[in-house]
């Protein structure tokens, strides 16, 4: 007994490995990771890193080198004569080479504001990518549940094939008893061929869906079993997880950072400087010799030119924020409309499903009664085939309603931005 249990466990593990299963959550994750746009995240992060590094380097000493040579029409002269003192006239050709180093001490918060803008703009770009990536969820849902629908149709096709095979045997027996004729048997064969053609079409369409989903996920899905999730409605709307709302928030944060940069534009700048060079004349304007020199000190600059445009710049940012908030309200408005419509669709499908089992049961009873009538010569085989088709249609309708309900629920979750789908599966 112990060896039998071990063999069963090993066989179950082998079957599990041989036929891997795939859930809708795994599909969504694989499709997201395979989407080419996902690579933009690393590029945005790299660009942010370089921009922040450049902004930080404004605190490094800034070195500037300049040189000039000039000729002037007149030079400085002393219009008095001092006995015993010969003061030569300055040369009209003059030369100067200067190297200057500046060290920023305080810039009024400008660099800090620039760094915040860089981070805020990077966040906006990431959220824009998230919005684009979110759009692929609907495509994955359509393909995944489309495959589940074809699986259900193929199963019903298999059941109908067995039913027609059973009736084929019965009609052949009726022929021997003189109740049916060759035309009746041919009618059953025609239905069998129709079902066979339908299966070929279903398999081809399902294969096309699987191929498209394989392209989106970047994986081979041949032989994969697609897991049907349980019917579980979302509990609480989580609209704040929609990437569009996060994008609006990121845009507003960028506007706030831009305001801080504008305010820092009219603050004073404080720094150290040192100059060194050689010139003729140098600092001594009465010397004709090439002489080295240096100057060092503290420099304070205050530019009030930005005050002319500051209010307009701030008002423009407020207008931009108002536009973003209007877009946010419009987005929420459409989300609420979509949510209401999707909830009504879910209720409609559930109401329809209440009668599916009853209809199937009644169709089964009618088909059995038709079979009995055919065996007693009270009904034709053609009428029986019609009843079989109606029973099959009822089963197809039930299967379609089940998948349609799942699609509607997941579409609602997608609308509300619920990332953590339930992990219950049938």
Task: Please give the model's pTM, rounded to 2 decimal places.
Answer: 0.78
Q: Could you tell me the pLDDT band of residue 417, with boundaries at 50, 70 and 90?
A: confident
Radius of gyration of the chain, Cα coordinates, nearest whole angstrom? 41
Pairwise CA distance, residues 154 & 360, whole Å: 18
Q: Each residue of 320-333: pLDDT tens digit?
A: 999 999 999 999 99
Please state the rounded mean pLDDT for residues 76-82: 69
Q: Is 319 in a helix, a strand, or coil?
A: helix
Pairwise CA distance, residues 219 & 213, whole Å: 9
Q: Could you tell me the pLDDT band of residue 237, with boundaries at 50, 70 and 90?
A: low
3-state helix, strand, coil in the chain (%, to 5): 65, 15, 20
Q: Which sequence spans correspond to the domains of the chain?
A: 21-58+112-267+302-416, 268-301
Q: How far is CA 245 from CA 329, 331, 412, in A?
A: 10, 8, 17
The set of residues, in sequence order, having a beta carbon less than 8 Å from that of 258 and lying 6+ positions away, is 117, 317
**DSSP state letters, 289-310:** S-EEEEEEEEEEE---TTHHHH
Please state the rounded mean pLDDT for residues 16-39: 82
In the prediction, which pLDDT does 176 show?
A: 81
Q: Is the pLDDT of residue 111 over 90?
A: no
In the numeric block, the tokens 């987005």 are attached to: 331
In the prediction, which pLDDT does 192 show?
A: 92
Q: pLDDT > 70: what percent of the chain?
A: 90
According to DSSP, the β-strands at 21-22 and 225-226 are parallel
More reliable by pLDDT, 306 or 373: 373
In the prediction, which pLDDT does 334 show?
A: 92
8 Å CB contact between 221 and 19: no
Q: Could you tell me the pLDDT band of residue 213, with boundaries at 50, 70 and 90?
A: very high
Pick left, alpha or beta for residue 178 (phi over 0 → left; psi -120 to 50 → alpha; otherwise beta). left
Q: Each residue of 286-297: pLDDT tens digit?
A: 778 888 988 988
CB-CB neighbours of 263 under 10 Å: 17
- Topology given in CATH for the domain delimited by 21-58+112-267+302-416: Outer membrane efflux proteins (OEP) (1.20.1600)
């Amino acid at each position: 007994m112990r060896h039998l249990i071990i063999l069963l466990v090993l066989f179950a593990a082998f079957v599990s490995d041989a036929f891997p299963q795939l859930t809708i959550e795994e599909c969504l994750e694989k499709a997201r990771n395979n989407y080419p746009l996902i690579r933009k995240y690393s590029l945005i992060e790299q660009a942010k890193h370089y921009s922040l590094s450049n902004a930080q380097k404004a605190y490094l000493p800034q070195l500037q080198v300049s040189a000039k040579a000039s000729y002037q029409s007149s030079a400085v002269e002393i219009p008095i004569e001092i006995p015993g003192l010969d003061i030569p006239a300055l040369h009209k050709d003059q030369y100067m080479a200067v190297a200057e180093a500046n060290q920023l001490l305080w810039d009024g918060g400008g660099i800090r504001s620039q760094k915040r803008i860089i981070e805020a703009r990077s966040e906006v770009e990431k959220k824009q990518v998230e919005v684009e990536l979110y759009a692929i969820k609907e495509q994955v849902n359509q393909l995944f549940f489309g495959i589940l629908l074809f699986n259900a149709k193929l199963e019903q096709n298999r059941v109908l094939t067995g039913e027609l095979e059973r009736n084929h045997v019965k009609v052949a027996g009726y022929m021997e008893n003189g109740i049916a004729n060759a035309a009746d048997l041919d009618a059953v064969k025609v239905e069998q061929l129709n079902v066979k053609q339908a299966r070929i079409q279903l398999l081809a369409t399902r294969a096309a869906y699987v191929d498209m989903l394989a392209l989106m996920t970047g994986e081979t899905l041949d032989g994969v079993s697609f897991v049907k999730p349980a019917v579980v409605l979302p509990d609480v709307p989580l609209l704040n997880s929609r990437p569009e709302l996060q994008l609006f928030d990121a845009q507003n944060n960028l506007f706030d950072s831009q305001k801080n940069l504008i305010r820092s534009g009219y603050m004073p700048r404080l720094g150290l400087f040192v100059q060194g060079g050689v010139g003729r004349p140098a600092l001594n304007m009465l010397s004709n010799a090439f002489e080295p020199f240096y100057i060092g000190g503290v420099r304070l600059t205050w530019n009030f030119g930005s005050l002319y445009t500051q209010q307009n710049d701030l008002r423009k940012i407020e207008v931009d924020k108002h536009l973003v908030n209007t877009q946010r309200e419009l987005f929420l408005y459409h989300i609420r409309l979509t949510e209401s419509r999707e909830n009504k669709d879910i209720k409609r499908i559930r109401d329809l499903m209440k009668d599916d089992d009853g209809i199937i049961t009644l169709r089964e009873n009618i088909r059995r009664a038709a079979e009995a009538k055919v065996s007693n010569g009270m009904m034709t085989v053609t009428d029986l085939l019609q009843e079989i088709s109606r029973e099959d249609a009822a089963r197809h309708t039930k299967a379609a309603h089940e998948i349609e309900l799942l699609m509607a629920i997941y579409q609602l979750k997608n609308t509300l931005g619920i990332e953590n789908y339930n992990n219950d599966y049938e």
